[in-house]
Amino acid sequence: MTERLISIEPATGHQLWQGAASDVEAEVARVVESWPAWASTSITSRIETMRRFANVVRAKEEALTDLIARETGKPLWDARTEVAAVINKVDISAAAYSERTGHRRLEGAVGAKQALRHKPHGVMAVLGPYNFPAHLPNGHIVPALIAGNGIVFKPSEKTPAVGEMLVQLYHEAGVPEAVVRCVHGGPDVGRALTAHPTVRGILFTGSAQTGIAINRAFADQPDKILALEMGGNNPIIAWDTGDVASAVALIAQSAFLSAGQRCTAAKRLIVRDTLYDRIVGDLKNLADRLVIDHPHADPAPYMGPVIDMRAADSLTDNFIHLMSNGGKPIKHLARPRDGLPFLTPGIIDVTDMEERPDIELFGPVLQVVRVETFEQAIAEANNTRYGLSAALIGGSPQQYNQFWANVQAGIVNWNRPTNGASSSAPFGGVGISGNHRPSAYYAADYCAYPVVSSEAEQPRASIEVGLRSEPIIADR
């Protein structure tokens, strides 16, 4: 019996979408057959198709914004910024392809030319997350299409409607239907897709647990390219500053934007003991004022719900675990609406916990640690297996240099939030936050591979050394 999938609006509990699990074998076969023709079109044509896609998204901007807001629960203004990122990705990817994987003429030997070109890998599997169901998979798909690959895209089973609409928009722009396919399903469908022998690359955004499983499964297949973006347990350090109000606003933005469901969201606030009362007190007051409501509410909310009841229950259980093991609540994580996954921001002091769990609490939970010295602050920031994003709020230029040089993260900010990274820069982390294949501007690097050629219009060669003066005549 075919598995039925249902998508529920987290803010209302109403059914938004339903469908069946996909036939992975059939969908991959379609792309295998069709991608070579796409790859043989000119790069100019492929980029122009992607620019048509950007225009199609502009024309459907309100519809896509509304669907993202309804299926994820994020406020309408937050969903609108995601759609803008989808549109902007096209020009960014075209520039990145030219700069990082374009054609080059190199110095060659006399009479020959050296050429550097890049080839697509073939069929690429894209596995998308639910928190940015359009922007993050689009960040893989657009550069992969520009490079000439075919795509089989599995959206999160929690946001299938947005994934399906995204693929429809590629087709409407002129990408052949058999070059980009959408497959629906849960973990079994994801495993079948990634394990398919004709899939040459896996572009994944999601949890560390799943990313590590993918990495382990293909450890003996080095010919399969893996680009893994796996989140973070991100630190934000609050140090000496004359503008506490701005510092607190940056901390709240880092921790609670998109209900804390960003891989770059701050999960740990490390604060100097002499600033603790002021910073933490003002942060609690600000968190108390944040409006939490459904996506279309008026006035606009700062936060919507988390993705579903399972996520809300897990975050609640983890907050209780922190309290039960030495954490001191500053602002309780509350459930304001029965039967719906709305959460208020939770803030908890874990300074005195003997063992702090090194996990990504994917929601509006901020753990606070007091320290005395800047060296202790950096050590605490690095007290994690993750290494995606880190920020210093306050401090001197010398302290920022020290922080930048020593903190373990792929994104390091000063007096800026941990989140809101630009698509025109590389995006990735160290530790278990990734596998050293940063995305965003650097996505071009893993969507094509370099081919170096030495070329001459006519064969010309001779052997000048190591020859006898006369050939040896064999005895008869």
Mean pLDDT of 69-92: 98
Q: How far is CA 28 from each of CA 31, 163, 313, rounded to the nearest angstrom?
A: 5, 17, 36
Which residue, chain included where needed, has tokens 């004709």? 198
Mean pLDDT of 147-168: 98
Question: Which H/E stretch holds residue 126?
Answer: strand 123-127
Q: How far is CA 185 from each of CA 129, 215, 311, rounded to the nearest angstrom?
A: 13, 21, 19
Amino acid 394 reads G
* Residue 313 to residue 318: CA distance in whole angstroms: 9
Mean of the per-residue pLDDT values of the chain: 95
**Quick check: 108 and 114 in contact, CB under 8 A?**
yes
Write down the pLDDT at residue 107. Answer: 75
| pLDDT(1) > 50 | no
Q: How far is CA 422 from each of CA 91, 361, 441, rounded to the nearest angstrom?
A: 13, 23, 9
Q: Residue 276 CA to chain centroid, in angstroms?
A: 32
Please, what is the angle between helix 135-147 and helix 76-101, to 10°? 20
Q: Is 82 a catalytic residue?
A: no
Strand partners, 412: 390
**Token digits of residue 360:** 């990504």
Please, what is the angle between helix 135-147 and helix 43-59, to 10°? 150
* Residue 194 to residue 272: CA distance in whole angstroms: 46
Is 4-230+434-455 a domain of CATH 3.40.605.10? Answer: yes
Confidence band (pLDDT; 50, 70, 90) for 104? confident
**Token digits of residue 50:** 């992607």
pLDDT digits (tens, 9 = 90+) for 10-24: 999 999 999 999 999
What angle is formed at CA 437 by the lines to CA 262 and CA 426, rounded to 5 degrees?
60
| pLDDT(329) > 70 | yes
Mean pLDDT of 405-423: 96
Q: How far is CA 282 from each of CA 87, 148, 243, 277, 445, rounded to the nearest angstrom?
A: 37, 51, 12, 8, 44
Which residue, chain included where needed, has tokens 């064969």? 459
**Token digits of residue 428:** 């990735």
The number of C-alpha atoms within 13 Å of 399 and in the hemisphere containing its C-beta is 19
| pLDDT(397) > 90 | yes
CB atoms within 10 A of CB 29: 16
Write down the pLDDT at residue 476. Answer: 54
Which residue, chain included where needed, has tokens 């895209």? 153
Q: Give percent of the chain with pLDDT exceeding 90.
A: 91
Indicate the CATH number for domain 234-414: 3.40.309.10
| pLDDT(376) > 90 | yes
**Quick check: 181 and 29 in contact, CB under 8 A?**
no
Q: Is 229 a catalytic residue?
A: yes
Quick one: residue 455, left, alpha or beta (phi over 0 = left, psi -120 to 50 = alpha)? beta
* Active-site residue (options: 71, 82, 229, 360): 229
Q: Minimal CA–CA distance to 334: which of 322, 320, 324?
A: 320
> Could you tell me the pTM of the whole model?
0.95
**Quick check: 347 and 361 in contact, CB under 8 A?**
no
The dihedral built from the CA positions of residue 409, 414, 419 and 425, taken in this order, carries a sign that is negative
| pLDDT(388) > 70 | yes
Domain boundaries, the chain: 4-230+434-455, 234-414
* Residue 476 to residue 474: CA distance in whole angstroms: 6
Mean pLDDT of 43-70: 98
Q: Minimal CA–CA distance to 169: which of 21, 32, 68, 241?
A: 68
Contacts of 70 (CB under 8 A, 6+ apart): 9, 11, 16, 295
* Active-site residue (options: 263, 360, 380, 447): 263
Q: Minimal CA–CA distance to 342: which of 366, 363, 368, 321?
A: 363
